[in-house]
Amino acid sequence: MTIKILSGATVVSTVNIASPNPGTLMGLNTVSLTAPGTVGTYSVSITAGSTGYPTWQQITPLTANYVAVFPQGLAVDNNVNSPYYGRVVVGCAAAATAHGVAQNCGLYKYNADGTPADEGSFGYANYTTNDAGITDVGQMPSATFAGFAQIKNPSTIRIGEDDRIYWQDNSDGGAIIACDMLATTNQVIICSQNSPSVDKPSFLTGPQYGNCPSIGVVNSSSFGWVQFDIINVGTASSYTGANGVYTGGQAALFLSDWDFACAGVWMWHMVGTPGSMTVDPTDTYGEQVVGAALADTIALRTDGVAVDYNLDVFVGQNRSAIGSSFVKTASWAKWNGGILPPGNQNGADPGGGFGYSLIANPTWAEGAGSTTTNDNSIFDMVLDSKTNPHLLARAHLGGPGYGIDLLVPSNPTITITSVSLSGTTLTINCTSSNPYAPDLSQISLVNSSTADGTYAPVAATFTGGNGVFQATTTISGPMGFYKVASSAVGGSVVSGSAVTISASGNVTSTLAYIDSVSADGTLNDVYRSGIAFDNVGNLYGANPSDNYWRVWSPPGANTNTTKAVVTLTAN
């Protein structure tokens, strides 16, 4: 642990604290510092680090602070300049008791160490009437109309760059609501007002999607919009009033339909200033991002959507048939060249709302023909970073032992760093550009008689991890060509002791199944939308199967610096 006192960007003093002294312990720590000798205003930064674990390791106990009654969503505040940085928000969708802890329906707020938020853990943002018009007192209403299949409220949760909590109310066709980090007031971001496909007339009023060109299939099997993502709501944006052109930031809301038939994923621009932004009320149509039809890459239904700042779009597909030829996860790089398309006010898009739709030729895809049940029943997904994602976490809706799985949504470059040949033993040291990939179960050594020939697997022994590996094999002579690859079509080539880099490997298989079996040996099978990452790379999950939320630390060393928002004055 390192604590620095700064005057502006200048470090005035540094204190290093070794574990297990106060300052390095889990929970609240108190550390005494020597005040600067010069009058002025100062800030404090704290850098915590750990040597980490060899594999993903659960670091939270199953105690009262980690109870979550029927959780449907979870998010972490990753805004480093926020006084709530590191806060965990869990959405509990029922008023009930689990493990001796009684909870209401609403949002539960925790500090990074699992302790309740200072102002109190529970909040309901004064949201006592949902989109279906069902009311409650002192908590959010969780119910939907009898006979309908909606996911209970609150469902999917995201925390925006504007330091607001966004959650999904699926009590009718689907609405997105936002509130402050204390969960005291609410604002409608988009709702089912005037939509012809909802179960009941919408109670909420505000920006709405009633003219979406795919509205005829939204809610067709009584689900509607379920998962969503938001980007760039920390920068003001406004509509110019002409030609769908916006000024300011690239703020947007992405909605994913969970029905059969399916509307796919749609986008609406967000407008306003951070802290009060909504979907642009002048656009009730939207633009389709990913289509879902039998002829498309996503053939039946979109299950989860994640979008990074490059407008790389990641979408899941819930397929239960073992060996199905359809992909389970797909992504497209830089939708519309990495720039949001114009708005679709009054249906102005010449493509009818489908002019920018992604339907084929994904940049990356996974799961076609998969025979593992763990690749099925995808419900939602999140990225470990919206700037430079290395991992994609998928939550699964059902099936024994599914838990959470992790994918590497990129093509990491495998680089050979050194090669040695001793007799007939070839030793190859290599690294991966992605710290999480490939792991030992995903990489292989393949060989060919020529550098550009057809490569075939070679028996080899791999050691290492966290992106650094060593492969050894027995060869017949120094003129063979070898690749260390995550598939037989990519990797780094070595001929004897000569090294040339020719291509990158393609990692698309899973790295881990997290929390597939609970401590008592029972199978955990549901996470819905209750997954998130923090800036360190820790993975969070809220499980309605056993009513706990958990945190797992990634393999390898990790560190993070937090700068206090408040300043100190030395007199």
Q: Which residue has the higher pLDDT, 367 or 341?
A: 341
Does the pLDDT of residue 150 top 80, yes or no?
Answer: no
Range of lowest pLDDT (281-290, 336-345, 505-514)? 505-514
pLDDT band of residue 175 (cuts 50, 70, 90) is: very high
What whole-number distance in Å separates Cα of residue 250 and Cα of residue 231?
Answer: 8
Mean pLDDT for the stretch of residues 276-303 = 92
The pLDDT assigned to 506 comes to 31
Task: Please give the Cα distance from 460 to 383 (Å, whole number).
Answer: 33
For residues 362-383, average pLDDT: 77
Average pLDDT in the 364-375 region?
Answer: 71
Residue 511 tokens read as 């790295």
Residue-wise pLDDT tens digits, 30-46: 888 888 888 888 888 88
pLDDT of 247 above 60: yes
Query: Edge-to-edge strand order for the sheet containing 539-543?
Result: 57-58, 548-553, 539-543, 531-533
Cα–Cα distance for residue pair 95/339, rounded to 1 Å: 43
Per-residue pLDDT, 375: 63
Spatial strand order of the sheet with 157-159 comes to 157-159, 164-169, 175-180, 186-190
Place of tokens 């490569």: 455
Q: How far apart are CA 173 and CA 54, in angstroms?
A: 44
Q: Is the peptide bond before 20 cis (omega within 30 degrees of 0)?
A: yes
Say yes or no to pLDDT of 173 above 80.
yes
Tokens coding 431: 């690294």
Which two structure tokens, joined as six digits, stand for 243? 């030609």
**pLDDT score recorded for residue 165:** 98
Per DSSP, 335 falls in state: G
| pLDDT of 525 | 58
Phi/psi of residue 249, each to 5°? -80, 175
Per the CB < 8 A criterion, the answer to whether 484 and 416 are in contact is: yes
Residues whose CB is less than 8 angstroms from the CB of residue 164 and which lie 6 or more positions away in sequence, other chains included: 178, 179, 180, 181, 233, 275
pLDDT the model gives residue 511 = 44
79-99 burial, b at 16+ Cβ within 10 Å, e below that, comes to beebebbbbbbbbbbbbeebe
Angle CA(532)–CA(534)–CA(536) in degrees, nearest 5?
140
| Sign of CA pseudo-dihedral 518, 68, 166, 134 | positive
Query: DSSP letter at 451?
Result: T
Among 41-50, 59-68, 111-120, 368-377, where is mean pLDDT lowest?
368-377
3-class SS letters over 351-416: CCCCCCCECCCCCEEECCCCCCHHHCCEEEEEECCCCCCCCEEEEECCCCCCCEEEECCCCCCEEE
Residue 391's pLDDT band (boundaries 50, 70, 90)? confident
- Which is more confident, 520 or 312? 312
The mean predicted confidence, pLDDT, of the chain is: 85
Distance CA 247, CA 237 (A): 6
CB-based burial label for 52 (10 Å; 0-12, 13-18, 19+): middle
Distance, first Cα to last Cα, the chain: 27
C-alpha closest to that of 48 among 79, 97, 2: 2
**What's the mean pLDDT in 86-114?**
95
Write the DSSP assignment of 476-521 as a string of letters: S-TT-EEEEESSTT-SEEEETTEEEE-------SEEEEETSB-TTS
Assign 564 a pLDDT band (cuts: 50, 70, 90).
confident
What does R_g of the chain's alpha carbons equal in angstroms? 25
* Beta bridge mates, 50: 558
Is pLDDT of 204 > 70?
yes
CA distance 506 to 503: 10
Residue 154 preceded by cis peptide, ω within 30: yes
Inform me whether the pLDDT recorded for 268 exceeds 90.
yes
Length of the chain: 571
The predicted pLDDT at position 63 comes to: 93
Q: Check pLDDT > 70 for residue 298.
A: yes
- How much is the pLDDT for 147? 66
State pLDDT tens for residues 504-521.
333 333 445 566 655 555
**Three-state secondary structure call for residue 248:** strand
> For residues 15 and 2, what is the distance between their CA atoms, to the nearest angstrom?
6
Which token pair is 77? 């505040």
pLDDT band at residue 496 using 50, 70 and 90 as cut-offs: very low
Residues above pLDDT 70, as percent of the chain: 88
Among candidates 3, 38, 37, which has minimal Cα distance to 22? Answer: 3
Q: Is 229 helix (H, G, I), strand (E, B) or coil?
A: strand
Q: What is the 3-state secondary structure (H, E, C) of 74-105?
A: EEECCCCCCCCCCCEEEEECCCEEECCEEECC
Question: Which of 416-425's residues contact partners 24+ apart within 8 Å by CB, and which partners?
Answer: 416/484, 416/492, 416/494, 416/499, 416/501, 418/499, 419/494, 419/496, 419/497, 419/498, 419/499, 420/497, 421/475, 421/478, 421/496, 421/497, 424/474, 424/475, 424/476, 425/472, 425/473, 425/474, 425/475
Dist. CA 345–CA 208, nearest whole Å: 12
Strand segments (E) across 20-70: 40-50, 57-58
What integer pLDDT is reported at residue 510 of this predicted model? Answer: 42
